[in-house]
Amino acid sequence: MKILALYLAVMAAVLSGAAMVRRSAMSKICWCWPPVSHTGPHAKPKTVTTEYVAYGSYGTEADWNNPERIYQLNFNQDQGRRIFYQHCVWCHADATPAGPSNRSNVTPEPPLMNDPAALAKVSDGSLRNMIAHGGRAVGKSAMMPPYGDTLTAEEIDDVIAYIRVVAAPEPVKPAGNAKSNGE
C-alpha cells in the first residue's frame, strides 16, 4: 500500500511539474541547437518580394508519348496530377516516377489514362463513379479499388481534370504551313 501511495505521489508531482513548465517563461525559449537569436544582428532579414505567380501557371506535365509537348496545368489539374501519381500511376501508366509500372501484372490490363481513344468513350460522370466506387461497382475489373472513402469529391474531379489534359490528342499541324526549299 505504501508503494502505491508513493507511486501516486510521484506521478502527481511529475504531472503538476509538467503543467507548471508549460506555463513558465522557460517553455518559450527556443531549444534549437546551435542557439540562434531571432532578433539582433544575427537575425535573418525579412525580405519583401514583388514576385507573383502568374494566374494558371501552377505546373507543367510532359506528354507521355511526346516529351517535346508540354502541358500547362491549372491549379485543379496540378492537384489531380499529384493525386494521380500517388494512387493511380502504378496501374494506369506505362512508367511511374519510381520506375516501371505494375500495369502488366494486373489482369485484365487497366487502360492507360493518356489514351485519348479510351477516354473519349467515357464521360466524366462515369469516371467519377468508377473512381469513387471501384471497378466492380460499374461492371469492370475488381482490381480497381474504390477511392470514395480515400479521396474527396473535389480530389476525384481534380484527377479527372488532369487525365483529360494528358489524354488530349496531339494537335494536327496543317499541311499548308510546310516550307519548301525553292522559296
CATH of residue 139's domain is: 1.10.760.10
**Does residue 28 lie within any of the structural domains?**
no
Q: What is the mean pLDDT of each run of 10 residues along the chain (183 residues)?
A: 90 78 54 50 55 54 72 88 90 76 83 86 93 91 91 95 84 57 47
The per-residue pLDDT for 113 is 85
Sign of the alpha-carbon dihedral angle for 115, 81, 128, 135: positive
**Does residue 73 lie within any of the structural domains?**
yes
Would the pTM of this model clear 0.75, i.e. be above it?
no
CB 165 within 8 A of CB 61: yes
> Strand 99-100 relative to strand 95-96: parallel, antiparallel, unpaired?
antiparallel
Q: Is the peptide bond before 145 cis (omega within 30 degrees of 0)?
A: no
- The 3-state DSSP class for residue 59 equals strand
**Does residue 40 lie within any of the structural domains?**
no
**CB neighbours of 95 closer than 8 A, spacing ≥ 6?**
64, 101
**Does residue 48 lie within any of the structural domains?**
no
The per-residue pLDDT for 149 is 93
The per-residue pLDDT for 125 is 94
**Does residue 86 lie within any of the structural domains?**
yes
Which residue range forms the structural domain that includes residue 155? Answer: 60-166
**Does residue 132 lie within any of the structural domains?**
yes
**Does residue 76 lie within any of the structural domains?**
yes
**Does residue 42 lie within any of the structural domains?**
no
Tally of structural domains, the chain: 1
